Copies of this chain bind each other. A is one copy, B any other.
């Protein structure tokens, strides 16, 4: 059927979509969500059909931006439209929905069609849901991870050993990466680190680093930075490694499900060319992994998946029941990271975590006494010099001082209403308060702790400060803090960051890890 083109000018944002008038659709026996082949001037596109009653009249076809570009077509041009088959991957999606296992080729077809934007939201959701409900075998996980890596760019860093670290996240204030990358790079190993921005947290590593220097680097800029400094601290969103991941996340996000956790992490590492990866698993109440048992079982999966993908993986379970260090929010965290690496101030748990994680990675690379080496590189100023070199290479001011980083000018104190010891800090409440104060968008907003778990406080003593960039947000954050109960003051505890390394510790010290 020949139809007259009518351009919407609008990006559909996902799959290629055309709109048919309901009469034309009926004549072709086509329903909403069916496929049609649209061709013009020797170009053709397979598109998903939307049915229109008013905007597209009989004899016309509405084309979204992506279709317009695929066909180089203008309003009024004649488009040839005929029914087309649904993409092959739909068959494999329904196969998975019905409980079958998919082989490598089937998995690859689904991922390829996802990246090529051939699947509708309904079909993508059905795939992600089927993984949520039916689970993934190790073979499927390997196939999915490899397919996700193969269908995007690769970094192509030269060198036999490429190190990396990844955190499963979930703990506010975790600026560990900003110390680990310079330590590893200072030790002479390559670590091309890409990080994400905050979605539901107060700050992602990319947000933190952006307070020091630009993070939106191209692949070439990453290669040049790593070539010169051994490391980088770039925003992953700019380089499009394993792009299928972002499309799956679009579906997972509104549903609060995460069946692709393992392929999501490991496909990006594969695309980055990593050979040795340490995975930080914050564990305990208030973090994503509630128990050591859960974390260990996930750790084993990561290690096995790595083995199948040719990547050596070690996992580190870390204490995740309170914020790391004192600052929460992009600028407050950047300040703390810079002043800790510069040995100006001390955040003992941050240092302990950074040298523990870096130490494991250094030992994976063949060093002995990794933690000691990491600590030496930090204390000697080597790590600071390396960070400044990276900052300069990424286009920032390599002489930046912590006080140069601007934080919110509207500040209020939150005081203890009793005397005693801080026994717990509720991560989720700290996240809520920080976001109410303006993070991650307001870089200077956030929370700065004066006391942490195990510290004693007197009645009326300041536990934390809230920072904001305007008064209204500060007011809202304070009011929220008062309605919540973010800090528990009762008796006494020690600080203890490192729980165990997998695969090492068999005798689990289940040190005050509570089930929620």
Chain A positions near chain B (C-beta within 8 angstroms)? 8-11, 13, 19, 26-29, 31-34, 50-55, 62, 65, 86, 90, 93-94, 97, 120-126, 129-130, 132-134, 199, 250-251, 253-257, 435, 440-441
B120 near A11 (CB under 8 angstroms)?
no
User: Chain B residues with Cβ under 8 A from A32's Cβ?
Assistant: 13, 250
A54 near B133 (CB under 8 angstroms)?
no
Q: Which of B50, B129, B441 contacts A126 (CB 8 A)?
A: B129
A97 near B254 (CB under 8 angstroms)?
no
Q: How far is the CA of A460 from the CA of B129 in the complex (A)?
A: 53
Q: Which of B10, B120, B257 contacts A254 (CB 8 A)?
A: B120
Q: How far is the CA of A13 from the CA of B440 in the complex (A)?
A: 34
Copy number in the complex reads 2
Given that A55-B10, A129-B130 are known contacts, is A26 also in contact with B254, CB under 8 Å in the complex?
no
A121 near B129 (CB under 8 angstroms)?
no
B94 near A256 (CB under 8 angstroms)?
yes
User: Chain B residues with Cβ under 8 A from A441's Cβ?
Assistant: 26-29
User: Chain B residues with Cβ under 8 A from A90's Cβ?
Assistant: 254
User: Chain B residues with Cβ under 8 A from A251's Cβ?
Assistant: 122
User: Chain B residues with Cβ under 8 A from A9's Cβ?
Assistant: 55
Q: How far is the CA of A94 from the CA of B32 in the complex (A)?
A: 26
Closest CB in chain B relative to A245 CB, distance in Å: 15
- With contacts A90-B254, A97-B257, A125-B129 known, what are 5 further pairs, Cβ within 8 A? A26-B441, A34-B254, A55-B65, A97-B133, A122-B251
Closest to A86 in B: B254
B29 near A440 (CB under 8 angstroms)?
yes
Q: How far is the CA of A126 from the CA of B121 in the complex (A)?
A: 10
